[in-house]
Amino acid sequence: MKKLLSGIFAIIIVCMALAAGSARLAKSQGATGGNVLNFANWGDYIDPALIKKFEKETGYHVNQETFDSNEAMYTKIKQGGTHYDLTVPSEYMVEKMANDHLLVPLDKSKLTGMNNFGKDFMNQPFDPGNKYSIPYFWGTLGIIYNDKYIKPGAIQHWDDLWSKKYRGQIMLIDSARDIMGMSLVSLGKSMNTTDTPTLAAAKAKLDTLSPNVKAVVADEIKMYMGNNEAPLAVDWSGEAADMMYENSHLHYIVPTEGSNLWFDNFVIPKTAEHYKAIYAFLNFMSNPKNAAQNTDYVGYSTPNNAARKLLPKSTREDKSFYPTESTMKRLEVYKDLAPTVVGKYNDYFLEFKMFRH
Amino acid sequence: MRKNVNAAFYVPYVLWLGLFVIAPMLLIFYQSFFDINHHFTLANYATYFQSGTYLTMTFNSVWYAFVITVVTLLISYPAALILHYMKHKQLWLLLIILPTWVNLLLKAYAFIGIFGKDGGINNFLGFFGAAPMQLLFTDAAFIFVAAYIEIPFMILPIFNGIEELDENLVNASQDLGASSWQTFTKVTLPLTMSGVKSGVQAVFIPSLSLFMLTRLIGGNRVITLGTAIEEHFLTTMNWGMGSTIGVVLIVAMVIIMFLTGERAKHRVKGGRRHV
């Protein structure tokens, strides 16, 4: 009898632990008290010193919580139970969240630093008139090369990657949209292509890149490139900045024929409660001095032109991270495509990964 | 009264099975009938069996799992046999199990260091002028690491099988004039077959759905069904298709269990775990 009872108890305890765990997951933290700001951000994506400074200046306490994919953050906000006041989705997710009525429009009268932002980064198709979002950082997709193995200037365009010289030397980021997009651009097509024949052509072109591909990996690319494991990689500018910090032989270029332009943006989700703290924080972050300090810490490109002027000359005129006007014009922002189309991108990408000679 | 109490003893067992085994499987099965727009459909299964992609992937998964199992078995059986005749066998056994205490991810990263361009193996080969060779992201590296990780789960059941074998039978066989080879093939091997079968189950089934290693060590040049499931759940958000592949894997596992299962009673020793 004792055994029986303890068995049943064990199961009840496991169930309760699971329920508690899932409730915790759903709720996450997020204090609901008065002087707080519940901020959901990507990991290591803000200078902690700035948060301290903000808390000291304004008296608000910042609860920072991190997420590692737009989708995870989206699910949390959509399912409720969170109390986020601010979050930082990428551009296509801003569009998706706005369409799903998960965002609160910005009250422009309470924002003080909007004139600091460059025109190139405002009024983007994913959020016309910046009704919901303020750009936080932006970047591109490009090629990283190691000057120990590749002569500077040898790689200028996407098509150069297809050269027979680079057999088994390229690492690709494991992202369907980006790698399919790269192939589409090299064919002179849009990165937001939706029609199947064009996508199939892009996939066929990718297959011919297959002998040159050493691996298709995710975050590990940073480690591999840092260790000189491969001479070439296709990755985002933000990741490239991290790698170049680790290994001075690495360089980043944005092909002039076009690439992706991405944005991470501040938005107010509908779960927000502390509006005073939100606007205080947004204004604090768009202050040129603070934005410059944050840019220096994070290493991505800032849309805040006033802040950019405060950066060291070598940074603010670096063509890799602040491309020329003519290249900027050819960069394309991802649109939020229909799920079936996204599925198609992913299926083709999976087939490409399976393709072997 | 007595009878009621006995029946009540099944309650924890049934609850456990129902909540943590049957219910999740039913959920996966249920999910597999929904497309990306949450409409009821059979299209996921049609896609699976009509697309060359998934069939090739299935074939690849089974093939890699098969190779990993064979490699593991070839190493484990002699190892278990030697272990059996060792002096401090429990100690040696502990040493073999010890690596399973280390997290899989850490082991994978360690292998990245070993196989890398400036890694231990290439440094060693450098003395003979053969370096640097591309070791990471190859089939061989993937199978090597997967086999390394699976070996303890193969050795344990085989070792237990050999331990249970009556030493007198081996002695009798030798007394009656059988050579060592004959003793091995006619007596030892058939009598330890149940251990081999549990070992094969414990290795083959998880190997079918390995996914992290395919990216870390295989650099996504090796694609298994596990990779596809991960992608469908995390990137495409097409849970239906992911569940469909999950169902196919469950069916495959049932088939393997049936093929390797013994008709007579047998005991499965040696643990199973998540990979």
Q: What pLDDT band is residue B220 in, cutting at 50, 70 and 90?
A: confident
The distance of A222 to chain B (nearest Cα, Å) reads 13
Cβ–Cβ below 8 Å for B37 and A339: yes
Q: What is the mean pLDDT of chain A?
A: 90
Question: What's the pLDDT at A33?
Answer: 62
Cβ–Cβ below 8 Å for B9 and A3: yes
Question: What's the pLDDT at A220?
Answer: 86
A chain contacts of residue B238, beta-carbon cutoff 8 Å: 339, 343, 346
Cβ–Cβ below 8 Å for A11 and B16: yes
Interface test with B, best of A92, A346, A348 (most B CBs within 10 A): A346
Report the predicted TM-score, pTM, of the whole model to 2 decimal places: 0.82
Over range A22-45, report the average pLDDT.
74
Would an 8 Å CB–CB cutoff place A346 in contact with chain B?
Answer: yes
pLDDT beyond 50 at B274: no
Question: What's the pLDDT at A357?
Answer: 58
The DSSP annotation for A64-131 comes to EEEES-HHHHHHHHHH-----SEE--BHHHHHHHHHTT-EEPP-GGG---GGGB-GGGSS-TTSGGGS
Over range A233-244, report the average pLDDT.
92
Question: What's the pLDDT at B266?
Answer: 46
B chain contacts of residue A4, beta-carbon cutoff 8 Å: 5, 8-9, 11-12
The distance of B259 to chain A (nearest Cα, Å) reads 29
Burial class of residue A59 (count of CB atoms within 10 Å of its CB; 0-12, 13-18, 19+): exposed
Per-residue pLDDT tens over the stretch A252-280: 999 999 999 999 999 999 999 999 999 99
Over range A295-305, report the average pLDDT.
91
Q: What pLDDT band is residue B267 in, cutting at 50, 70 and 90?
A: very low
Residue in chain A nearest B224 by alpha carbon: A354
Would an 8 Å CB–CB cutoff place A350 in contact with chain B?
Answer: yes
Among A8, A229, A343, the residue with its CB nearest the CB of B12 is: A8
Residue in chain A nearest B238 by alpha carbon: A343
Question: What's the pLDDT at A26?
Answer: 55
Over range B213-217, report the average pLDDT.
87
Q: What pLDDT band is residue A18 in, cutting at 50, 70 and 90?
A: confident
The distance of B218 to chain A (nearest Cα, Å) reads 8
What values do phi and psi take at A34, rounded to 5? -75, -65
Over range A309-333, report the average pLDDT.
90
pLDDT beyond 90 at B69: yes
User: Looking at domain B41-260, what is its CATH homologous superfamily?
Assistant: MetI-like (1.10.3720.10)
Cβ–Cβ below 8 Å for B60 and A216: no
Over range A186-204, report the average pLDDT.
95
The distance of A153 to chain B (nearest Cα, Å) reads 25
Cβ–Cβ below 8 Å for B220 and A216: yes
Tokens of A313: 């000359």
**Contacting A residues, span 147-176, partner chain B, CB-CB under 8 Å:** 168, 171, 174, 176
Cβ–Cβ below 8 Å for B215 and A174: yes
The distance of A281 to chain B (nearest Cα, Å) reads 32
The distance of B128 to chain A (nearest Cα, Å) reads 21
Interface test with A, best of B41, B221, B229, B244 (most A CBs within 10 A): B221
Question: What's the pLDDT at A219?
Answer: 83
Choice between B117 and A192, residue whose per-residue pLDDT is larger: A192
Per-residue pLDDT tens over the stretch B169-212: 999 998 999 898 999 999 999 999 999 999 998 999 888 888 88
pLDDT beyond 50 at B273: no
**What's at B4, amino acid-wise?**
N
Question: What's the pLDDT at A25?
Answer: 61
pLDDT beyond 80 at A22: no
Question: What's the pLDDT at B239?
Answer: 86
A chain contacts of residue B36, beta-carbon cutoff 8 Å: 339-340, 343
Cβ–Cβ below 8 Å for A354 and B223: yes
Would an 8 Å CB–CB cutoff place A5 in contact with chain B?
Answer: no
Domains of chain A and any CATH numbers? 34-138+264-316 (3.40.190.10), 139-261+323-354 (3.40.190.10)
Among B53, B134, B237, the residue with its CB nearest the CB of A71 is: B237
Distance CA A88, CA A42 (A): 7
Of A215-229, A331-345, B80-94, B126-140, the range with the lowest mean pLDDT is B126-140
Q: What pLDDT band is residue A53 in, cutting at 50, 70 and 90?
A: very high
Model ipTM value = 0.79
Question: What's the pLDDT at B268?
Answer: 45
Over range B74-99, report the average pLDDT.
91
Among A69, A174, A228, the residue with its CB nearest the CB of B118 is: A228
Q: How many CB pairs under 8 A join A and B?
A: 88
Would an 8 Å CB–CB cutoff place A69 in contact with chain B?
Answer: yes
At a CB cut-off of 8 Å and minimum separation 6, what does A318 contact? none
Of A156-170, A176-190, B54-68, B210-224, the range with the lowest mean pLDDT is B210-224
Q: What is the mean pLDDT of chain B?
A: 86
Question: What's the pLDDT at B275?
Answer: 41
Of A76-85, A182-191, B26-35, the range with the lowest mean pLDDT is A76-85
B chain contacts of residue A69, beta-carbon cutoff 8 Å: 234
Over range B39-67, report the average pLDDT.
89
Q: What pLDDT band is residue A127 in, cutting at 50, 70 and 90?
A: very high
Distance CA B175, CA B157 (A): 28
Per-residue pLDDT tens over the stretch A55-105: 999 999 999 999 888 888 888 898 877 889 999 999 999 999 999 999 999
Helices (H) then strands (E): counts for chain A: 14, 10
Neighbours of A118 (CB within 10 A): 15
The radius of gyration of chain B's CA atoms, rounded to the nearest angstrom, is 22
Distance CA B145, CA B213 (A): 8
Interface test with A, best of B235, B237, B239, B241 (most A CBs within 10 A): B235
User: Does the CA dihedral B32-B37-B41-B44 come out positive or negative?
Assistant: negative
**What's at B267, amino acid-wise?**
R
